[in-house]
């Protein structure tokens, strides 16, 4: 993305757009060219479907699974820049020897949260050569982000945001991108996006929710604000939309509504890893059987080293198996007792699920038919499907929660950037 001479103002500070494309190599004094904007996007294969950066959830095993089911580009979980740069133990646990391997984990963007430009640069330099770009988290709305002063809680400090991005743009050997949330005010959101781009962000991912929209206040992402940014930013800006993806069809709807380059999914991907199979029509491709999906994930996870994969395993099991657990709470209760790293116990869960689904297909009264219910679909409980967040006892698809059979995994909330 080559932006012409332009200035952005936050407060009284003017910021000229930096045209820099060359950075000094950390290996010596040689200058290295790095791709920008549209050229970078094309070099990554012009992705349309993207796995979001999710705290403790978009780890290597999950990325590998998602790529098999239609994901074109993946982000890592959000890493804490200071810890990543100073703790070898933290770094090895979060980003192991297989992460970023070009044979099965690219294209890849590594995301960091930070509030110090030099700490961010130090951390980012440690992933050069193992990813295609580094992303700055400007969207995390959780309390831990407020306490640590990062993510969406930097939205009042545009000067700092500019310095964080611009430091990487000028000094890092690979490109920098950013993921933001919106303000209630569209014009302010547009000024914010322009500032982020002027600092040197090569991609702009826009989560169409405000910082306050989380938990039971999540609500719907506002695609119209994303479209407003798209229509008022330079035409060559690479933009990704995030929010409201439940079914494969929603990806096309989002692309049309926002006119963005690609669509990112977090929660939709976690509950149905095949949500990115946008060119498939077969029910097994769009809403895979939970026994098939959990077996595929588990076989991948067993072969990927690192604490991150082990830590995420139980949560992934709960989410993939959520509809199935409405009928088989006995298996759910067993899963809840498993401790991290007890792979034999996880294997037992997988086998029980496989046996249970096999029995389902022996019962001729069960049907694989998907019933359209307005904007939503009734999908057999033995197949992966979206999760509808419950607010005041009513799910976002208008159906009242059955308290007795509620099997949501409350042990870990999905936190997206």
pLDDT tens-digit readout, 77-113: 999 999 999 999 999 999 999 999 999 999 999 999 9
pLDDT at residue 73 tops 90: yes
Q: What is the pLDDT of residues 262-301, one digit of tens each?
A: 999 999 999 999 999 999 999 999 999 999 999 999 999 9
115 and 172 part of one domain: yes
Among residues 280, 314, 346, the one where a domain terminates is 280
Among residues 231, 257, 280, the one where a domain terminates is 280
| Domain region containing 51 | 37-280
272 and 351 part of one domain: no
252 and 292 part of one domain: no
Token pair of 5 as six digits: 């001479």
Give the residue among 11, 18, 1 at the shortest CA–CA distance from 199: 18
DSSP for 257-288, written as a single string: HH--SEEEESHHHHH-GGGG-TT--SHHHHS-
Q: What is the pLDDT of residues 190-246, one digit of tens each?
A: 999 999 999 999 999 999 998 777 666 677 889 999 999 999 999 999 999 999 999
Return d(Cα 398, Cα 401) in angstroms, integer: 9
286 and 270 part of one domain: no
- Mean pLDDT score, 70-80: 97
Q: What is the pLDDT of residues 329-341, one digit of tens each?
A: 999 999 999 999 9
206 and 256 part of one domain: yes
pLDDT at residue 60 tops 70: yes
pLDDT at 29: 42
160 and 193 part of one domain: yes
**Has residue 260 been placed in a domain?**
yes
Contact by Cβ (8 Å): 40, 202: yes
pLDDT at 406: 46
Give me the residues paired with residue 261 across strands. Answer: none
**Has residue 263 been placed in a domain?**
yes
pLDDT band at 10 (very low <50, low <70, confident <90, very high): very low
**Has residue 120 been placed in a domain?**
yes
**Has residue 402 been placed in a domain?**
no
Q: What is the CATH number of the domain that holds 241?
A: 3.20.20.70
Write the CA distances from 85 to 200, 274, 370, integer angstroms: 22, 34, 49
Q: Is 384 a catalytic residue?
A: no
pLDDT at 214: 66
Please give the mean pLDDT across all residues of the chain.
87
Among residues 280, 301, 335, the one where a domain terminates is 280
Q: What is the pLDDT of residues 373-405, one digit of tens each?
A: 777 899 999 999 998 875 544 455 555 444 334
Return d(Cα 340, Cα 207) in angstroms, integer: 32
pLDDT at 380: 96
pLDDT at 41: 98
101 and 231 part of one domain: yes
Token pair of 265 as six digits: 């999914």
**Has residue 127 been placed in a domain?**
yes
Q: What is the pLDDT of residues 162-183, one digit of tens each?
A: 999 999 999 999 999 999 999 9
275 and 293 part of one domain: no
pLDDT at 147: 84
Contact by Cβ (8 Å): 173, 25: yes
Contact by Cβ (8 Å): 176, 130: no
Return d(Cα 84, Cα 262) in angstroms, integer: 29
**Has residue 397 been placed in a domain?**
no
**Has residue 271 been placed in a domain?**
yes
71 and 109 part of one domain: yes
241 and 180 part of one domain: yes
291 and 329 part of one domain: yes
Please give the share of the chain, as a percent, with pLDDT higher than 90: 73
Catalytic residue of the set 113, 140, 254, 384: 140
Return d(Cα 187, Cα 9) in angstroms, integer: 13
Number of folded domains that form the chain: 2
Give the residue among 8, 134, 67, 122 at the shortest CA–CA distance from 304: 67
165: buried, middle or exposed (CB in 10 Å: 19+, 13-18, 0-12)?
Answer: buried
327 and 235 part of one domain: no
pLDDT at 54: 92
Return d(Cα 167, Cα 152) in angstroms, integer: 19
**Has residue 267 been placed in a domain?**
yes
């Amino acid at each position: 993305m080559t932006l012409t001479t332009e200035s952005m103002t936050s407060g009284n500070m003017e910021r000229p757009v930096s045209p820099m494309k060359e950075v000094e190599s950390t290996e010596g004094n040689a200058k290295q060219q790095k791709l920008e904007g549209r050229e970078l996007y094309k070099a990554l294969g012009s992705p349309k479907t993207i796995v979001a950066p999710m705290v403790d959830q978009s780890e290597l095993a999950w990325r590998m699974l998602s790529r098999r089911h239609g994901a074109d580009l993946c982000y890592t979980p959000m890493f804490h820049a200071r810890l990543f740069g100073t703790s070898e133990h933290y770094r090895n646990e979060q980003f192991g020897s297989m992460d970023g391997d070009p044979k099965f984990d690219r294209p890849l963007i590594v995301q960091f949260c930070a509030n110090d430009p030099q700490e961010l640069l130090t951390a980012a330099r440690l992933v050069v050569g193992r990813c295609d770009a580094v992303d700055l988290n400007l969207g995390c709305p959780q309390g831990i982000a407020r306490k640590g002063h990062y993510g969406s809680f930097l939205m009042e400090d545009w000067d700092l945001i500019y310095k964080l991005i611009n430091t990487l743009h000028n000094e890092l050997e690979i490109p920098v991108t950013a993921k933001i949330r919106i303000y209630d005010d569209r014009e302010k959101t547009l000024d914010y996006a322009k500032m982020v781009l002027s600092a040197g962000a090569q991609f702009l991912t826009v989560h169409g929710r405000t910082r306050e929209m989380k938990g039971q206040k999540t609500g719907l992402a506002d695609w119209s604000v994303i479209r407003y940014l798209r229509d008022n930013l330079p035409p060559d800006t690479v933009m990704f939309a995030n929010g409201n993806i439940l079914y494969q069809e929603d990806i096309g709807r989002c692309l049309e509504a926002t006119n963005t380059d690609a669509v990112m999914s977090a929660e939709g991907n976690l509950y149905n890893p095949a949500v990115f199979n946008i060119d498939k029509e077969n029910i097994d491709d769009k809403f895979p059987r939970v026994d098939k999906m959990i077996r595929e994930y588990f076989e991948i996870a067993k072969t990927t080293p690192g604490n991150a994969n082990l830590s995420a395993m139980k949560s992934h099991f709960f989410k993939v198996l959520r509809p199935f657990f409405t009928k088989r709470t006995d298996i759910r209760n067993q899963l809840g007792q498993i401790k991290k790293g007890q792979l034999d116990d996880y294997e037992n869960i997988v086998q029980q699920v496989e046996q249970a689904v096999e029995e389902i297909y022996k019962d001729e009264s069960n049907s694989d038919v998907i019933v359209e219910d307005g904007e939503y679909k009734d999908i057999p409980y033995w197949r992966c499907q979206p999760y509808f967040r419950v607010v005041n006892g009513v799910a976002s698809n208008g159906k009242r929660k059955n308290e007795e059979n509620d099997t949501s995994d409350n042990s870990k909330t999905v936190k997206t950037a």
